Amino acid sequence: MRRTTGHCSLSDTPVVSSVAAGRLPRGAIEAGPFRLRPLRPDDAAVIHRLVNDWSVVRMLSRLPFPYPRSLTDDWIASTIAEHDRGDAWHLAVTRQDGDGETVLGCIGLRIDAPQKTATLGYWIGRPYWGTGAASTAAERVTRWALANLPIARITASAAQDNAASIAVLRKIGFREVGAGRQPFLARGGEHPVTLFEATHADMPGLATRNPSEDAAPDPSPAAAVPARRSVLVAAAALLDRDNRVLLARRPEGKPMAGLWEFPGGKIEQDETPEDALIRELREELGIEVSPACLAPFTFASHDYGTFHLLMPLFLCRRWKHTPTAREGQTLRWVHAAELADYPMPAADLPFIPLLRDLL
């Protein structure tokens, strides 16, 4: 690691070690009492038994009825190839029952990378209706995808006579965006469908609070009185030798999960913006920054509705140690011309043209 001389004597040769972005997982995902895992060839018998049911298959647009067992085997085999290409992600919805596992249905995402969109689909076998499996699995997959995949939205559709599926999508935060018609093979023709969409802003808890403010709510009586407050946050545009900017993607479970931001955080009481930023960069990235290396650049003033955010942005080209993701975030170095390709919180967006002009 190269050292510089002079007053600001910190490293300016960062190499980021971070979680790979935009990859579909190969393992299982826990979803409350359910488990979502990749399909296996030995699932074919139970999958065929559950889906080859008129009450189930009539609501699925692409499946014929009766549904041949051979198609089940071929479809499960195809899910592996689709996963490897990054085209789709299909999972069995399962539940632990004693020492064994029960397959309840399937859920999947089909990815359209150029459009930064994924399409959600799912079904649950009739014996397991009413267990909460559909809503739990759909919400878990949606949250995971928005937090981890390079997508800006997830779409879904449901036959207009499929009240249960429509209720699931509404419950987990999807927004109705229109109506259309789709062919349903089992029914032998086209039928009306309701179209849905979810973005980071639509999912409950993903984009309702300041991305840098994760503290527990104030339990005092005064906190129960609705009042808009001002929140002070400091952020840094860390610049490497190639004038690339470091962005951090907020991990699943955090407010605004899946959005990219400039590293930083809330300014605590009795802290200066520089003090807060030095502390946050140490905690989030494990780097040490001298106050002399923070150059005030611009600021953002944004109304989030329940609070008003004021955020100064500092430029920083020198620091000590290698930026490393310490809070589950994904890190990526981005050229200024590409910043607009990364979905960001509304308060960060005004920084993009200013950095593009500077760099």
SS3 of the chain: helix, strand, coil, percent, to 5: 30, 35, 40
Residues 231, 301 contacting (CB under 8 angstroms): no
Residues 130, 167 contacting (CB under 8 angstroms): no
CA distances from 82 to 70, 90, 111 (A): 19, 9, 10
Cα separation, 148 vs 86, whole angstroms: 13
Which structural domains are found in the chain, ordered by start?
25-202 (3.40.630.30), 230-358 (3.90.79.10)
pLDDT at 17: 29
pLDDT at 22: 56
Torsion of CA 206, 118, 189, 160, to 10 degrees: 0
Cα separation, 38 vs 67, whole angstroms: 21
pLDDT at 208: 36
Q: What ranges make up the beta strands (E) of 136-275? A: 153-159, 175-184, 189-199, 229-238, 245-249, 260-261, 264-266
In tens digits, what is the pLDDT along the chain, a chain of 359 residues? 333 333 343 333 333 323 234 567 778 899 999 999 999 999 999 999 999 999 999 999 989 999 999 999 999 999 988 988 889 999 999 999 988 999 999 999 999 988 889 999 999 999 999 999 999 999 999 999 998 888 989 999 999 999 999 999 999 999 999 999 999 999 999 999 999 999 988 875 544 334 444 433 333 333 344 456 889 999 999 999 999 999 999 888 787 888 999 999 999 989 999 999 999 999 999 999 999 999 999 999 998 877 899 999 999 999 999 999 999 899 999 999 999 999 898 899 999 999 999 99
Cα separation, 64 vs 141, whole angstroms: 26
Give the list of residues 6+ apart from residue 147 with CB closer than 8 angstroms, or none: 206, 249, 250, 251, 252, 253, 257, 258
pLDDT at 8: 45
Cα separation, 329 vs 322, whole angstroms: 15
CA distances from 303 to 35, 70, 255, 257, 268 (A): 39, 56, 16, 19, 20
pLDDT at 201: 82
Give the list of residues 6+ apart from residue 337 with CB closer than 8 angstroms, or none: 356
User: What integer best gives the mean pLDDT of the chain?
Assistant: 86
Nearest CA to 336 out of 319, 315, 316, 357 is that of: 357
Q: Which two tokens stand for residue 63?
A: 């499946």
pLDDT at 337: 94
Q: Which two tokens stand for residue 292?
A: 């002399």
Give the list of residues 6+ apart from residue 137 with CB closer than 8 angstroms, or none: 31, 34, 36, 91, 93, 105, 107, 122
Helix/strand/coil (H/E/C) assignment for every residue in 12-31:
CCCCCECCCCCCCCCCCEEE
Q: Within 13 Å and on the Cβ side, how many CA atoms surround 218?
A: 10
